[in-house]
Chains A and B, each alone.
Chain A
Amino acid sequence: MRLKGRKIFGGKAKGIALVSKKPLSFLGGVDPKTGIIKDVESDIRGESVKNRILVFPRGKGSTVGSYVIYQLKKNGVAPRAIIVEEAETIVATGAIIAEIPMVDKIDISKIKTGQFVEVDADKGEIIVEE
């Protein structure tokens, strides 16, 4: 299945999807050292974002979250790509400074955790293996 969105930060990546149905706060919500989700309200709590294609509706919380995304990359535990329904300042800025391919305007209900996803952020396109 091919889904068309919009490029936020370019690049290509492929990997296994980790999908959250809830908005995600990186500050306080993701451990920058391990990449493990610790937000108590998150539906993917305890999962690691490391090397996953991270999929969620939108970011929330403090703008400091951008720096947490940067730290994830520095520590080698960042997701390979980020897919959201709606990009906002925090996650977009985080993806840019950490150089993680990011696409928005994707109907994330079409993606399930565990599916293999190919991301071509330059084209704003993703392919979900069925």
Chain B
Amino acid sequence: MYLTKEEELILAGEYGFALQKAMEILVALGEIYGADKLIPIKSAQVAGVSYKNIGDAGIEFLKDFVDAGAKVSVYTTLNPAGIGEEVFMEKQREILNLYKAMGIEITSTCTPYYGANLPKFGDHIAWSESSAVVFANSIIGARTNREGGPSSLAAAIVGKTPNYGLHLEENRKATIIVEVEAKVRGFADYSFLGYHLGKALKNDVPYFKGLKVKALDHLKELGASMAATGSIALYHVEGETPEYKEALVDSVERLQVGDEELKEVKERFNAEWEEIDAIVIGCPHASIQEVKEIVELLKIREKPLKIPLLITLSRVVKALADALGYTDVIERYNGKMIVDSCLIVSPVEKWYQGIATNSGKASFYFSSAGLKVRLENTDELILGAP
């Protein structure tokens, strides 16, 4: 891989230990994946934030990095943090402070694009939250690989990323056409579709035909579910996403998805309401449109929920919900807004035995943690819950 004079000096340690380590990571990954050079990035988004995920090992690494003077050189935001008991929260705060010391904005969300960190079409970025990666690539048309926590941090520090994978136009073409014959109406239907395809497709770039998309949030969930059960980082939807016109190349395979395939996922996550202790919405973090929809459904429902409704969202969207009076309504109906955090990176199995959600991604992780799961569209959840 070609390196500029300055990059060589960073690698040789002339600019200190932190930059050197960061550069070593980028150069190694560039060599592994055959990059020709490093390219500048506009922003980074760093995973590896929850204490549940990175543990004491991660804290030690971050601490040593901070002591060595590590600072990010591009706009950088964080993934959601975990929530837990007192000791957990102490460690969690320590992690956030370490990231803050590196100059990272402590907006801990999987939807940075709803506010603080919004790239534009064609921007090269280094993001590591899988659902944000697929959103940035597919819906915005920015360019990022599925970074790991340490590699997105290294890219944030150096301000560059190796030029390979989805940074190259030729790798952004469709590798399979997915003809959707199934009925997909609401949020959970897109979850069923994404959940099924994530498992069926491996690391393809799917091109969807037959999807008439009503809400941006549905596309967000489609990508998040595919990225949870598989490793999809980019998809195109005919007539909807920004690169679909250039995405099709000759002779790619076709795959049909009908109601039957979606039903299989639905049956997998059909726990009874008696087994459910909480409703979780906001995986990925809820948009203001999703919050508004919930408020309207609660008003139709008229009576408060018997089990808590937990809505996870970014601070930006929460502020908007407060200003618009949505938070008050939600709290009146036994709902709770949770910011900066995420239940799938928290020790949720200690608190609940069953969760109802509209998210395929959340269903995947909650069931992996041993919980019973009910996966339904938002209106079915809010109107059907006890």
Contact = CB atoms under 8 A, between A and B. Distances in A.
Interface string A84-111: 0001111011001100000010000000
A70 B60 contact: yes
Given A71-B57, A97-B61, A63 B48 contact: yes
Interface string B111-154: 00000000000000000100000000000000000001111001
Given A67-B61, A96-B25, A97-B21, A62 B150 contact: no
Contacts of A104: 32
A50 to B, nearest CB: 16
A32 interface: yes
Given A6-B31, A63-B149, A66-B148, A93 B61 contact: no
Interface residues of A, number: 22
B24 to A, nearest CB: 5
A32 B56 CA distance: 10
Given A6-B31, A63-B48, A87-B32, A93 B60 contact: no
A67 B32 contact: no
Which of A66, A68, A87: most chain B Cβ within 10 A? Answer: A66
Interface in B22-75: 24-25, 28-29, 31-32, 47-48, 53-58, 60-61
Contacts of B148: 63, 66, 89-90, 93
A67 B31 CA distance: 21
B347 to A, nearest CB: 15
A96 B151 CA distance: 11
Interface string A50-87: 00000000000011101110110010000000000001
Given A64-B58, A67-B48, A92 B149 contact: no
A8 B56 contact: no
Given A96-B21, A97-B21, A67 B57 contact: yes
Contact of A64 (B31, B48, B151): B48
Contacts of B128: 63
B57 A32 contact: yes
Contact of A92 (B32, B54, B57): B32
B365 to A, nearest CB: 12
Contacts of A32: 55-57
Contacts of B25: 92-93, 96-97
B151 A89 contact: yes
A32 B58 CA distance: 11
A107 to B, nearest CB: 18
Contacts of A66: 148-150
Interface string A1-32: 00000101100000000000000000000001
B258 to A, nearest CB: 33
Contacts of A89: 29, 32, 148, 151
A49 B296 CA distance: 57
A97 to B, nearest CB: 6
A6 B24 CA distance: 15
B31 to A, nearest CB: 7
Contacts of A8: 28, 31-32
Nearest to B60: A74
Most chain B CB neighbours (cut-off 10 Å) among A9, A62, A63, A87: A63
A14 B32 CA distance: 24
Contact of A67 (B21, B29, B58, B154): B58
Contacts of A92: 25, 28-29, 32
A32 B47 CA distance: 21
B286 to A, nearest CB: 25
A63 B61 contact: no
13 contacts: A6-B31, A9-B28, A32-B56, A63-B128, A63-B149, A64-B54, A64-B57, A71-B60, A74-B60, A87-B28, A93-B25, A93-B28, A96-B21
Interface of A: 6, 8-9, 32, 62-64, 66-68, 70-71, 74, 87-90, 92-93, 96-97, 104
Given A63-B48, A67-B61, A97-B61, 10 more contacts: A8-B32, A32-B56, A63-B128, A64-B48, A64-B149, A74-B57, A89-B148, A92-B28, A92-B29, A93-B151
